[in-house]
């Protein structure tokens, strides 16, 4: 018995020492922002783990503190955790001072809920008029007022391994003229014949599957189809029937990696793409950071293919403005606005680009150059060109639709991709839910 | 009837013994291997993991452990080291409170019928079947009203209350197995109800109570959901959440550091287990009970 | 007169013992749960701040039983319910057969057997998330351990030779084997605990019984089923209660292994509920939780029936 007690005491001592040392290390490694300022603002972001984020926010908040003696406490959470946490915080009436919104219908929901503060006065300041493009401003406007500052411009592309395309003598499509579905399939067949997976999929989860779905929906039915159905001018059955038939056909062609359904988000798809086992990867611009780091890898981005029967649907790009909103419940509104204009300074915009390699939504200044990797630069150019030719950035259907309908859209989409339902059944369910939530077709 | 010692029986019993032994060994290997594999994974770099899945790491990356322990602390995440301490505090205090409070209730609910006993008993046990998500938002509002959001104390109170059904249920089994003759004897000796509880019943039921505490400790230490929603300051985050935030996101999954983190987070429970495995077995035996 | 007073005093003391538990439980558990359950009567966005303290009325409309009806009729809910019940049943059987089997075997080897049982208990200290992550890695189609092992040992070749169906590439993405993959991981972790429980139960059987069984010359199986099991009723009941209540709420493991998106073959109730919360729906999760509670009550009644002989003194 004696010995057991000795072991127990030793074990407890070790654990206590470990705990104390952990705290000690933390205190000394921790953020250098002093805690003695009077005002502290909280800022929650969903970018946990993205390279450069920690560094950028560390630098920015430190500089802000040095200048204004206001602490901004940034907390990063990953994916789902962020939305669970934000929703419960909002529901309990104690949200963070800043959080992320995506403009469009997302912004509208928050405005209706009275969760976000009106920051139109920021938009009337000179810097905003110079730096925030008209298209971005429109997305952030609800009932004539603006509620968030657009910061990051994310768009969805078909990323390719240029080396593989060259190896099999396949033409790499131009970013503005694009390529047809038939060309896409022909190239996929070449890859399959040579033992390469044509398209790496990021698993059977609702988020990853919205990217191919939104494009197939638009290329099949045109850019206005979804919005019209949402406004109940047309029904969802027809458009989803067509879309899901195309999806089912594509899935049946076996263009994805074996066992793709349980791929663990990007963590499984990315290595396949990076080591050359897969030729293409559907992804948003935020996700290619790790690939662009590898200088050996020849990364390219091509637009989603269009159907030869519907060429006018070509040239549209899906994307979103990752924006920062101020919570209506905040107690330091003026200081919060100050922070938003602070990080919108050209210096910090270029810092953001340089550290995170994400495209920014605001216009950069030539006195603070930012180095985009070539692929992202090409993407930036393509987006500007598209907007100039009258094809604005499209918002994802899931963001346009009210949450309950979004849920149904995502669910049915996953069921179609995994072969658990037929296109017609999915289309009918979606229409039924839409009628239930929004109302019948007028 | 063949004799017990015929060659045929001897062969058969040898065979079953060997097969039985083999099964036990196989199961032990299966139980332990994923652990060993995680330890090996914590010593490999990301590339080594994908190319050399099975084998020993060619160059053990011991620094993964240091990296896991100290990284974080700026830009809104905290280090595993700091989260470790938070988890120790939360788990220890939760168990201490439960240890005081639940045997008392379990003893009271193990007694013969009195007014309201069944009601409270059923109400308490029903809590074992509630999914925590549904009460999250009202709970947050309540905590806000009491100014307990974003504090470890709030977290502890939540863990204690949600752990009560389980620990009372298990402790109660321990009290039920005490022969009534002992309690009658105590009454004859002139002990009050509380004294009976404190001097006679509790010591006898202690092994079972301890099992409940250990299982609760494992649950609280490993929990993820309550800290996520109730704690806003990264520096107060607990271990599981920090592991997830720091190393397991969609992009730069640092499998090595993550595995190191898993091993780090498992060690205290492992120590607890080694110290108390004898007690656990005794406790279960006691709970099942001496026949009256 | 004195007897009555003593009786009341005893009850008072018992309530005093019960009080701290009840206060904590009622305040921090029951009250939020009841609030949460009443949400089932409304349809609303959970992000809208609720300002009421007592049995609130959220901002949007009262819809009565609409949520409950919708959930009950939703085929996805029915599948989730079905799968949860399957998991509960499968886990109960697995822990009973394998757990008891291991305990029985271990008993034959004395001290060495004890060591084995201690080793088998190790996985229980892992968090569900850790177990899920480990097994995701093991099951991973591109880089996983299971696939390497199957290829290395040419298992599929052997199976094909014998005419049995081969093991598919990725257990967690094939709808036929998804549920199986979850069951494997869950039981790998849990069975150690049940083996220990049964082992303790075996110890409560007097050695004389074992001796008399040897003399009778009954075969092992007959020994077990006819003699041992009836004597271990309480042990079996305890194990059953534990496995049912934990399988019922299973969430983390399924979420980490097969993701959240509805998979008809392995969706479970907690996951179904979680998806609604993710889309900020307030009413439906509460309706689901209500159904879970109803099922839970049935299980509790069963549980108390099983322990009936022991609960009164």
Mutation to test the B interface, candidates A7, A49, A97, A99, most B Cβ within 10 Å: A49
Distance from CA of B76 to the nearest CA of C (A): 22
Q: Give the model's pLDDT for residue C208.
A: 80
- Pick from C51, C150, C259 the residue to mutate for testing the A interface (most A CBs within 10 Å): C259
DSSP H helices in chain C: 2-25, 31-38, 66-73, 75-94, 100-108, 110-121, 128-139, 145-152, 155-162, 178-203, 207-216, 220-222, 229-231, 233-248, 252-258, 269-278, 283-306, 308-311
Element (H, E) at B206: helix B202-222
Beta strand pairing call for A319-326 and A148-161: antiparallel
Q: What whole-number distance in Å separates Cα of residue A176 and Cα of residue A179?
A: 9
Q: Using 50, 70 and 90 to split pLDDT, how confident is the model at B99?
A: very high
Same domain assignment for residues A161 and A45: no
Give A332's contacts (C-beta < 8 A, 6+ positions apart). Answer: A39, A41, A70, A97
Domain containing A149 equals: 2-154+320-372
Same domain, A135 and A100: yes
Contact B76 A20 (CB under 8 A): no
Enumerate the residues of chain A whose CB falls inside 8 A of the CB of residue B74: 29-32, 54, 58
The domain tally of chain A equals 2
More confident residue, A370 or A294: A370
Is A162 in the same domain as A196? yes
Same domain, A303 and A433: yes
* B243 vs B222 pLDDT, higher one: B222
Topology of domain B71-286, per CATH? Answer: MetI-like fold (1.10.3720)
Higher-pLDDT residue of C45 and A220 is A220
Q: Are residues A81 and A209 located together in one domain of the fold?
A: no
Residues 6 or more apart whose CB falls under 8 angstroms from that of C296 comprise B126, B128, B129, B130, C248
State how far the Cα of A137 lies from the Cα of A141, in Å rounded to an integer.
6
Do A92 and A150 belong together in one domain?
yes
User: CA angle, corner A116, sides to A114 and A117, nearest 5?
Assistant: 105
- Asked if B69's CB is within 8 angstroms of A8's CB, the reply is no
Residue A384 maps to a domain: no
B1 pLDDT more than 50: no
Given a cut of 60, whether residue A7 has pLDDT beyond it is yes
Q: How many CB atoms lie within 10 A of CB A44?
A: 22
Residues A174 and A310 in one domain: yes
**3-class DSSP assignment, residue B176:** helix
The alpha-carbon gap from B138 to the nearest alpha carbon of chain C, in Å, equals 5
Q: To the nearest whole angstrom, how far is the Cα of C164 from the nearest Cα of chain A?
A: 21
The number of C-beta contacts closer than 8 angstroms across B and C is 269
Core vs surface per residue B131-170: b (16+ CB within 10 A) or e: bbbbbbbbbbbbbeeeebbbbbebbbbbbbbbbbbbbbbb
Lowest-confidence region among A305-309, C15-19, C156-160: C156-160
pLDDT in tens, A315-340: 899 988 999 999 998 999 999 999 99
CA distance A242 to C14: 69
Q: How confident is the model at residue A31 (pLDDT cuts 50, 70, 90)?
A: very low
What pLDDT is recorded for position C240?
84
Tokens representing B151 are 């504090």
Beta bridge partners of A178: A174
Question: Which residue, among C21, C84, C244, would best test binding to B if mutated, counting the most B CBs under 10 Å from its CB?
Answer: C21
Cβ atoms of B84 and B264 closer than 8 Å: yes
Do the bridges between strand A141-142 and strand A145-146 make them parallel or antiparallel, or are there none, so unpaired? antiparallel
User: Would you call C141 an interface residue with chain B, using a CB distance cutoff of 8 Å?
Assistant: no
Would A378 be classed as within a structural domain?
Answer: no
**C-alpha dihedral over B186, B188, B193, B199, to 10 degrees?**
-20
Based on the fold, state whether residues A205 and A225 are members of the same structural domain: yes
- Domain extent listing, chain B: 3-42, 71-286
Q: Would you call C261 and A91 a contact, using CB atoms and an 8 Å cutoff? A: no
Residues of B with CB below 8 A from A54's CB?
74-77
In this prediction, residue A30 carries a pLDDT of 41
Give CA–CA dist B170/B208, Å, rounded. Answer: 7
A43 and A7 together in one domain: yes
Residues A298 and A426 in one domain: yes
Please check whether residue C73 touches B, CB under 8 A.
no
Q: What is the pLDDT of residues A88-128, one digit of tens each?
A: 888 877 899 999 998 877 888 888 888 899 999 999 999 99
User: How many angstroms away from the CA of B145 is the closest CA of chain A?
Assistant: 10
Is A381 part of any domain?
no
Name the one residue in this structure whose structure tokens are 């709808």.
C175
Mean pLDDT lowest among B12-26, B54-68, B124-138: B54-68
Q: Which residues 237-266 of B have a C-beta within 8 angstroms of C?
A: 240, 243-244, 248, 255, 258, 262, 265-266
Q: What is the pTM of this model?
A: 0.81
* Closest chain A residue by Cα to residue C169: A259
Q: Is A130 within 8 Å of chain C by CB?
A: no
Domains of chain C are: 74-279 (1.10.3720.10)
Q: Kindly list the residues from chain A whose CB atom is less than 8 angstroms away from the CB atom of residue C260.
A: 80, 205-206
Percentage, residues of chain A above pLDDT 70: 91
> Touching check for C283 and chain B: CB below 8 Å?
no
Instruction: Report residue A151: phi and psi, to 5°.
Output: -125, -50
For residue B47, what pLDDT is reported?
65
Residue of B nearest to A289 (CA): B251
The shortest C-alpha distance from A259 to chain C (Å) reads 5
- Arithmetic mean of pLDDT over chain A: 86
What is the number of CB-based contacts under 8 A between chain A and chain C? 114
Gap between the Cα atoms of A95 and B229, Å rounded: 11
Judge whether C133 is closer than 8 Å to chain B, CB to CB.
yes
Residues A295 and A416 in one domain: yes
pLDDT of residue B292: 26
- A96 and A201 co-located in one domain: no
Cβ contact, residue pair B250, A78, below 8 Å: yes
Residue B290 — very low, low, confident or very high, per pLDDT cuts 50/70/90?
A: very low
Q: What is the DSSP letter of A72?
A: E
The CATH number of the domain where A215 resides is what? 3.40.190.10
In a domain, A106, yes or no: yes
pLDDT digits (tens, 9 = 90+) for C53-68: 555 555 556 788 888 9
- Pair type for strands A148-161 and A278-284: antiparallel
Tell me which residue in B16, B32, B162 faces C29 most closely, judged by beta carbons. B162
């Amino acid at each position: 018995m004696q010995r057991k007690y000795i072991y127990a005491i030793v074990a407890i001592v070790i654990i206590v020492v470990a705990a104390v040392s952990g705290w000690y290390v933390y205190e000394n490694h921790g953020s250098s922002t002093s805690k003695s300022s009077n005002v502290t603002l909280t800022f929650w972001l969903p970018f946990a783990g993205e390279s450069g984020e920690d560094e950028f926010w560390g630098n920015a908040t430190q500089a802000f503190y040095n200048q204004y003696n206001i602490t901004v406490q940034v907390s990063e959470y990953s994916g789902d955790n962020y939305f669970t946490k934000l929703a419960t915080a909002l529901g309990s009436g104690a949200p963070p001072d800043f959080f992320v919104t995506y403009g469009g219908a997302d912004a509208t929901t928050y405005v209706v809920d009275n969760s976000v503060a009106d920051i139109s006065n920021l938009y009337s300041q000179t810097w905003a008029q110079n730096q925030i493009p008209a298209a971005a401003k429109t997305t952030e406007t609800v009932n004539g007022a603006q509620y968030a500052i657009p910061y990051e411009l994310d768009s969805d592309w078909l990323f390719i391994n240029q080396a593989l395309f060259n190896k099999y003598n396949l033409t790499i499509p131009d970013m503005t003229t694009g390529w047809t579905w038939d060309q896409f399939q022909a190239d996929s067949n070449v890859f399959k014949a040579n033992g390469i997976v044509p398209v790496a999929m990021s698993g059977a989860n609702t988020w990853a599957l919205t990217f191919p779905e939104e494009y197939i929906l638009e290329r099949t039915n045109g850019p206005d189809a979804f919005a019209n159905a949402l406004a109940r001018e047309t029904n969802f059955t027809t458009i989803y029937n067509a879309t899901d038939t195309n999806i089912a056909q594509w899935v049946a062609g076996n263009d994805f990696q074996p066992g793709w359904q349980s791929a663990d988000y990007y963590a499984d798809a990315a290595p396949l793409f990076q080591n050359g086992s897969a030729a293409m990867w559907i992804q948003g611009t935020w996700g290619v950071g790790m690939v662009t780091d590898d200088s050996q890898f020849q990364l390219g981005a091509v637009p989603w293919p269009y159907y030869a029967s519907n060429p006018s649907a070509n040239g549209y790009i899906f994307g979103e403005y990752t924006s920062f909103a101020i919570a209506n419940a905040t107690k330091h509104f003026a200081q919060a606005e100050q922070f938003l204009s602070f990080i919108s300074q050209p210096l910090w915009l270029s810092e953001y680009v340089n550290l995170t390699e994400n495209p920014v939504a605001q216009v950069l200044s030539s006195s603070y150059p930012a180095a985009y990797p070539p692929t992202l630069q090409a993407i930036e150019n393509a987006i500007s060109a598209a907007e100039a030719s009258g094809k604005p950035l499209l918002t994802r259907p899931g963001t346009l639709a009210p949450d309950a309908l979004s849920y149904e859209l995502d669910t049915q989409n996953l069921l179609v991709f995994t072969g658990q339902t037929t296109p017609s059944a999915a289309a009918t369910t979606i229409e039924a839910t839409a009628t239930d939530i929004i109302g019948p077709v007028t | 009837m063949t004799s017990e010692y015929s060659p045929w029986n001897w062969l058969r019993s040898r065979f079953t013994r060997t097969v039985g032994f083999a099964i036990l060994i196989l199961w032990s290997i299966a139980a332990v291997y994923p652990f060993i594999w995680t330890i090996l994974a914590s010593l490999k770099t990301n590339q080594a993991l994908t190319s050399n899945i099975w084998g020993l790491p060619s160059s053990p990356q011991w620094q993964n452990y240091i990296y896991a322990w100290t990284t974080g602390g700026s830009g809104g995440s905290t280090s595993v080291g700091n989260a470790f301490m938070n988890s120790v505090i939360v788990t220890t205090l939760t168990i201490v409170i439960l240890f005081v409070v639940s045997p008392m209730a379990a003893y009271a609910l193990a007694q013969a019928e009195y007014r309201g006993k069944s009601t409270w008993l059923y109400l308490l046990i029903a809590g074992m079947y509630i999914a925590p998500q549904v009460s999250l938002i009202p709970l947050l509002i309540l905590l806000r009203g009491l100014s307990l959001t974003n504090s470890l104390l709030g977290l502890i109170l939540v863990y204690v209350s949600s752990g009560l059904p389980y620990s009372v249920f298990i402790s109660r089994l321990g009290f039920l197995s005490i022969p009534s003759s002992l309690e009658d004897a105590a009454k004859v000796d002139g002990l009050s109800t509380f004294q009976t509880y404190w001097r006679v019943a509790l010591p006898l039921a202690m092994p079972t109570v301890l099992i409940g505490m250990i299982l609760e400790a494992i649950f609280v230490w490993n929990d993820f959901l309550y800290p996520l929603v109730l704690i806003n300051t990264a520096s107060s985050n607990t271990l599981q959440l920090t592991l997830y935030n720091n190393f397991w996101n969609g992009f730069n999954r640092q499998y090595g550091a993550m595995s190191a983190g898993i091993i780090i987070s498992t060690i205290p429970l492992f120590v607890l287990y080694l110290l108390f495995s004898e007690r656990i077995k005794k406790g279960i035996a006691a709970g099942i009970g001496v026949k009256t | 007169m004195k007897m009555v007073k003593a009786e009341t005093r005893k009850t008072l003391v018992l309530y005093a013992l019960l009080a701290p538990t009840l206060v904590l439980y009622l305040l921090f558990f029951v009250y939020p749960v009841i609030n949460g359950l009443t949400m089932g009567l409304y349809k609303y966005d959970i992000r809208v701040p609720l300002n009421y303290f007592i049995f609130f009325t959220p901002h949007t409309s009262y819809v009565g039983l609409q949520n409950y009806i919708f959930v009950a009729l939703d085929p996805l809910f029915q599948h989730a319910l079905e799968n949860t019940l399957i998991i509960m049943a499968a886990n109960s059987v697995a822990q009973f057969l394998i757990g008891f089997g291991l305990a029985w075997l271990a008993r034959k080897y004395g001290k060495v057997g004890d060591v084995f049982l201690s080793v088998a208990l190790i996985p229980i200290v892992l968090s569900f998330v850790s177990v899920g992550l480990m097994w995701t890695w093991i099951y991973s189609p591109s880089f996983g351990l299971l696939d390497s092992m199957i290829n290395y040992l040419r298992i599929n070749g052997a199976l094909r030779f014998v005419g049995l169906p081969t093991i598919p590439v990725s257990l967690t993405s094939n709808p036929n084997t998804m549920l199986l993959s979850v069951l494997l991981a869950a039981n790998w972790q849990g069975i150690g605990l049940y083996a220990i429980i049964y082992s303790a139960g075996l110890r409560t059987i007097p050695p004389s019984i074992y001796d008399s069984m040897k003399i009778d010359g009954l075969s092992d199986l007959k020994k077990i089923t006819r003699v041992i099991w009836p004597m271990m009723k309480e042990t079996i009941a305890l194990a059953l209660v534990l496995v049912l209540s934990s399988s019922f709420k299973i969430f983390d493991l399924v979420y980490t292994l097969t993701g959240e998106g509805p998979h008809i073959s392995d969706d479970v109730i907690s996951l179904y509920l979680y998806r609604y919360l993710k889309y900020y729906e307030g009413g439906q999760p509460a309706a689901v939780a209500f159904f879970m509670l109803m099922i839970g009550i049935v299980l509790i009644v069963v549980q108390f029936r099983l322990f009936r002989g022991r609960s009164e003194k």
